[in-house]
Amino acid sequence: MTKRLQREIDRLKKAILSEGSVVEDRLRLAVNSIGERNPELAQQVIDGDTEVDRMEVDLEEECLKVLALYQPVATDLRFIIAVLKINNDLERIGDLCVNIAEDSQSLSSRGKIEIPFDFPRMSEKVQAMLRNALDALVNTDTALAYSVCRSDDEVDEINRDMYEQVISGIRKYPAHLPELIRVISVSRRLERVADHCTNIAMDIIYMVEGEIVRHGKKHGKSYCETGAEPSDK
């Protein structure tokens, strides 16, 4: 039973990492379609959404099957619960990539406009968060997972700055209102991707340490903000 359960867990791990790799590629294409004003890249992301949806459904079914057949406990149970939650977050990131691709196509169809915020830095930061979250999963690396959580604050700050810059841009160039509204949408969607990456990181911490840190506090700060070990009380 133990060996069979371990084989199933190894299979689930390969499946979640495969899904993560596909979603990571979708995010890269969506971001590049914005920077390059390339509607064809955006269409690739839109067309590929069904693949991510299928992977998400298949993996959820496999997790539920393992739970029913083997009734795992302790570390194995935490792993499967974490995979179920990460699976959902990856599917949501895939949906957000499609939304960004749709924004990209809209922007490409209009006149050229300078994006009034640091889009390259924000997109690179968000892509790094996803990459690091997946690496943390592969290596059960909680230190890397904590760093993903801390990166979320930087993305939030860029998103806040973007609103101020876009409002200023609307005042200066009211004729570009539709494009600038799309810019707000892109920034907000990237910020949401970062939130899902943070969720993944916190699920990895739970998987490894058995502590739920989503709402945990230490000395008035979240564990992710301090990087402290949740079990250190």
pLDDT digits (tens, 9 = 90+) for 112-123: 666 666 888 999
User: Does any domain span residue 231?
Assistant: no
**pLDDT for residue 213:** 75
DSSP one-letter code for 175 = G
Under the banding of pLDDT at 50, 70 and 90, the label for residue 227 is low
Residue 147: CB partners within 8 Å, gap ≥ 6?
A: 132, 227
Q: Tell me: the pLDDT tens digits for 164-193?
A: 888 888 888 788 888 888 889 999 999 999
Residue 12: CB partners within 8 Å, gap ≥ 6?
A: 59, 62, 63, 66, 79, 80, 83
Which structural domain range is residue 91 located in?
2-226
Distance CA 42, CA 134 (A): 23
**pLDDT for residue 163:** 84
Lowest mean pLDDT among 18-22, 104-108, 190-194: 104-108
In the predicted model, is pLDDT for residue 225 greater than 70?
no
User: Does any domain span residue 163?
Assistant: yes
Query: Average pLDDT in the 192-221 region?
Result: 81
In the predicted model, is pLDDT for residue 25 greater than 70?
yes
Q: How many CB atoms neighbour CB 18 within 10 A?
A: 12
Can you give the CATH number for the domain in which 54 is found? 1.20.58.220
User: Does any domain span residue 233?
Assistant: no
**pLDDT for residue 126:** 97
Q: How many domains does the chain have?
A: 1
Are the beta carbons of 29 and 52 closer than 8 angstroms? Answer: no
Q: What is the pTM of this model?
A: 0.89
